[in-house]
Structure 1
Amino acid sequence: MQAYGDRERLDNLFREENNRYILTHPASRENHEKALGPMVEGVPMIWMSKWPGPYPVYVEHAKGAHFTDVDGNMYTDFCLGDTGAMCGHAPDPTVKAVQNQIAKGSTFMLPTEDAIASASLLAERFGLPKWQFTLSATDANRHMLRYSRHVTGRSKIAIHDYCYHGTVDETFAVMDDAGNTVPRRDNVGKPIDLKETTVVIPFNDLEAAERAFATGEVAAMLMEPALTNIGIVLPQPGYLEGMQELCLKYDVIWILDETHTISAGPGGMTRKYNLQPDAVVLGKTIGGGVPVGAFGLTQELAMRIATSTNLESIDIGGVGGTLAGNALSMAAVRATLSEVLTPKAFERMEKLAELWVANVQQVIDEFELPWQVSRIGCRGEYSFRATAPITGREAADADDFELQQYLQLHAINRGILMTPFHNMALMSPATDEEDVAHHHAHFREAVEALYRD
């Protein structure tokens, strides 16, 4: 969908920004030309090529809410590694803990005291007593789906339309216009027909969820308590509580993926709304930039898993990994949760997000834009529709890739980094009001260029 009508002006503005980028990023260009030799598309992971501009920014160093690129350009970072650096870049307590641990060894395939402390902190925050650690939220989601099928004896999982749960095969599905489960567009090398593994339901639709659960085929409902990777889609009043009741009624394992929605507070939306899921999945944020994931379980689900697995083959059952729960990650998690992402830090971050949202809304009102802005705790995002989306399809239909690319490149050229996949801004403990004002100046300037007479 094209949310902006004057495509000729948009093309001209993007061309101007592209030329400006080339002039101000010569060293990044030189690095990229070297990178085209040994790496696919010149990047270590191919989705990095989605950044606007002819080549990506190469980072020299980062601290807190800012970083400097190889050309000496300085940036206010609202992307923060797409949540991976939500605690800010190189937070001192995490850096110190990692330095101390790596000097003593990074991985043993044996537990450390930091693992006990990390699990205890997560149990306190999210209200789930049993925890396991992985290297990513994707891993944690995969493990939870396998465990769910294992303990229920059912073959399918339920997800939301236009959800995102990392690179989990079963989750790359959407609904077609007739409500059928079909592969998501550009699903690379799908291993099996997804209607065999997955049932897709619209977000905020309890009737659709009950129809899916009543078949007796669904082992687990894997969901974010608010969609985030298609733009923010907030739950309608009673939706989360209704989903909790349905999962209990039909013995469906209810898994809340809080990898992004941890922005709602120290215990994510689980704690904020007093939810009682069977499992919670977390990722990158809790390690302060060190790769890690985790999943928490109720006592009952943990017992169902423990009593139905065979110790002799527990290491080859499809759940685990030799680096999972490594000493380095555990040291990072303990330090990050106890000293960086504290309840007090979340309070300050949320106030900054409120200010960011108010600034965006001010520009929307000033130029009478058919756009809206939403927030989850310290995370804010605007979308190209007049009202907040209720489903993932509504959010997806409001997307305008070229308009988004222009706004992203305009931001980069003014020293601001946003998430390249959508218009999301995240506050860290190191972000301040000056950073928020910096974004406001860019956003108003970019919008004025689009809509001035």
Structure 2
Amino acid sequence: MNHAGKVIEGLMRAELDRYTAANPVSRRLADRAAEAFPGGVPLHWMRDWATPFPLFMAEAKGAELVDADGHRYTDFCLGDTGSMFGHSPEPVVRAVTDQIARGVTAMLPTEDGIAAAEALASRFGLPFWQVTTTATDANRFVLRWARAITGRSRILVFNGCYHGTVDDTFVRLVDGRPVHRPGLLGQVIDLTDHTRVVEFNDVAALEAALAPGDVACVLTEPALTNIGMVLPDEGFHAALRHLTRRHGTLLVIDETHSISTGPGGWTRAHGLEPDFLTLGKPIAGGIPCGVYGFTAAVESRMRHVQAGVPHGHSGMGTTLSANALAMRTLRVMLEEVMTDAAYAGMVALARHLARGLEAAIARHGLAWHVTQIGARVEFHFTPAPYRNGGEAAAAMRPELEQLVNLFLINRGVLIAPFHNMMLTSPATTEEQIARFLHAFDACAAALAGHA
């Protein structure tokens, strides 16, 4: 182990001891939970934090979280985007309280759903919408529709992409070859038979992959957001749209993370023209909900396909999708919470946060860089931005990422437990950003010359 590795290891030991001493109630709850949950948590992702045992939440409001031991945290993770507009916004609290008394789910439409669809159409520029329970479902159903209306079986994704737990997207490039994503469990079908994968920003590779004319759709985020943050080159999206149209391939834009860009996501901010748009996580204020929108041309092709098959289960939809509670909270979020004014404040705070990070990094001579997509900010352990998922994966330093994450937790600040992601919300304050920057500066100082 080199000197830098020894420094990180020593700091990590100290932070683990500090966390353990400070959180006896969470420790007791973790021991109890281990008797009921594998790994001591109801969802294994909850073990992805750098903590030696889970930090148990007692309550959360706005941009602050309180744990079981009574410690208060400034929350920049915000449920890894699920609470991007703050924990329990007041309009959502009122809507949930009222709607639960009126009924939660009946497998019947409501007027709230119409208003929500109208708001989505106005916001994103796509006239037709369907509602799911998660963004994963939205992406899964869109892939099924794309294959049905094109008659093609293959899809294309970019290396390092993230589209929820959609099987078709669990493909990566290793030494230029498509392979199953590392760690994938229980996969019995070779996904590379029907999924092509190329590097983001590689127009030549994209064109070659689409040239055979057998790709139903390209599914992509506007910028890769779950392997660090990889921004598109100038002109990349124009080339992507041109090539998909030339080869009769549908374009699906997944805005689930990039909704941080602005009220209409990256799509509206940068004038993208997708055939489908998918979105989930924060749009119903923490109530499970996902949506997918599509053009009038796509809707016409959908009707044509449906007319040619017998009545039966389409393979799309779940019983709780578009329930009355989700529709009410979706409407309220679109009309009262995800406003232009809210975004203006969030983005300004994120810019302040990003500049503070850059100043600390420069002050301590660290070869790191910072990226920002609207209200979403990340710092990376390389001096220059990545151009694709392969570069981002190669640059990852999990031991350093874990140390920074735990260091911040121990000083009352939460960021996402992976790839150093932070979000500002309408509830985030200048004081909270100052608290975060103070803790980050202390971490940078401890690492200076070693990271």
Bucket of the pairwise TM-score, normalised by the shorter protein: over 0.9
The amino acid that maps onto 1:141 is N
Q: CA shift at 1:199, angstroms?
A: 0.2
Letter aligned with residue 169 of structure 2: T
1:297-376 → structure 2 map (5 Å cutoff): 297-309=294-306, 316-376=313-373
| 1:103-142 matches, cutoff 5 A | 103-142=101-140
Q: CA deviation at 1:222?
A: 0.2
Aligned match of 1:292: 289
In the alignment, is residue 217 of structure 1 matched against residue 214 of structure 2? yes
> What corresponds to 2:74 in structure 1?
76
The answer on whether the counterparts of 2:81 and 2:257 sit within 8 Å (CA) in structure 1 is: yes
> Judging changes above 3 Å, is the alpha-carbon distance between structure 1 residues 313 and 330 closer, same or farther for their aligned structure 2 residues?
farther
- Counterpart of 2:413 in structure 1 is 416
Match among 436, 444, 447 for residue 447 of structure 1: 444
Deviation at 1:310, TM superposition (A): 5.1
1:189 to 169, 186, 191: 186
Which amino acid in structure 1 is aligned with residue 422 of structure 2? Answer: A
Q: Compute the displacement of 1:213 (Å).
A: 0.7
AA of the residue aligned to 2:65: F
| Matched AA of 1:405 | Q
CA gap 1:94/1:315 in 2 versus in 1, 3 angstroms: farther
Q: Say which SS state the counterpart of residue 138 (structure 2) adopts.
A: helix
What is the distance in 1 between the residues matched to 2:149 and 2:259? Answer: 27
2:15 corresponding residue in structure 1 = 17
Aligned pairs for 1:166-205 (under 5 A) are 166-177=164-175, 179-205=176-202
Secondary structure of residue in 1 paired with 2:14: helix
Q: Is the Cα contact below 8 Å between 2:366 and 2:448 reproduced in 1?
A: no
Residues 1:315 and 1:113: Cα distance change in structure 2 (over 3 Å): farther
1:234 aligns with 2:225: no
Residue 151 to residue 358, structure 1, CA distance change in 2 (3 Å): same
Within 2, Cα distance between the matches of 1:160 and 1:191? 22
CA distance in 2, matches of 1:342, 1:195: 41
| Distance in 1 separating the partners of 2:65 and 2:335 | 25
Separation in structure 1 between the aligned mates of residue 393 and residue 84 of structure 2, nearest angstrom: 25
Post-superposition Cα deviations, 1:267-302, rounded to whole Å, max 9, x if no partner, equal 000000111100100001111000000000001101
Please state how far the C-alpha of 1:452 moved relative to its aligned partner: 6.2
Give the aligned partner of residue 47 of structure 2.
49
Q: 1:314 to 1:32 in 2, by over 3 A?
A: farther
What is the DSSP-based 3-state SS (H/G/I as helix, E as strand, rest coil) of the residue aligned with 2:13?
Answer: helix
Contact 1:370/1:385 (CA < 8 Å) preserved in 2? yes
Look up the match of 2:151: 153
* Aligned-partner residue type, residue 61 of structure 2: K
Partner residue of 2:392?
395
Question: Distance between the aligned counterparts of 1:243 and 1:301, measured in 2?
Answer: 18
Q: Within 1, Cα distance between the matches of 2:268 and 2:383?
A: 30
Counterpart secondary structure, 1:254: strand
- Match of 1:18, SS state, is helix
2:69 maps to a residue whose letter is D
Contact map agreement 2:365 2:449 (CA 8 A) in 1: no
Contact 1:181 1:194 in 2 (8 A): no
Q: Secondary structure at the match of 1:405?
A: helix
In the other structure, the counterpart of 1:249 is 246
TM superposition shift of 1:237: 0.4
Contact in 2 for aligned 1:341/1:429 (Cα 8 Å): no
> What do the CA deviations read for 1:288-325 (whole angstroms, capped 9, x no partner)?
00000000000110111122115986661101111111
Alpha-carbon distance in structure 1 between the residues aligned to 2:300 and 2:161: 29
RMSD, matched Cα: 1.4
Cα separation, partners in 2 of 1:314 and 1:383, compared to 1, 3 Å: farther
Q: Secondary structure at the match of 2:271?
A: coil
> Hey, which bits of structure 1, 4+ residues long, moved more than 6 A?
none
- Choose the corresponding residue for 1:58, options 56, 59, 70: 56
Q: Is the 8 A contact 2:155 2:218 kept in 1?
A: yes
Contact 2:33 2:40 survives alignment (8 Å)? yes
1:372-387 superposed matches below 5 A: 372-387=369-384
TM-score, normalised to structure 2, is: 0.98
SS at 1:307's partner residue? Answer: helix
> 1:379, 1:408 → 2: CA distance?
17
Question: What CA distance in whole angstroms lies between the structure 1 residues aligned with 2:87 and 2:446?
Answer: 32
In structure 1, the residue matched to 2:142 is 144
CA distance in 1, matches of 2:17, 2:384: 34
Give the total of aligned pairs.
450
Counterpart amino acid of residue 163 in structure 1: C
427 and 158 in structure 1: CA distance in 2 versus 1, 3 angstrom threshold: same
Contact 2:366 2:449 (8 Å CA) reproduced: no
Structure 1, 263-272 or 429-438: larger mean CA deviation: 429-438
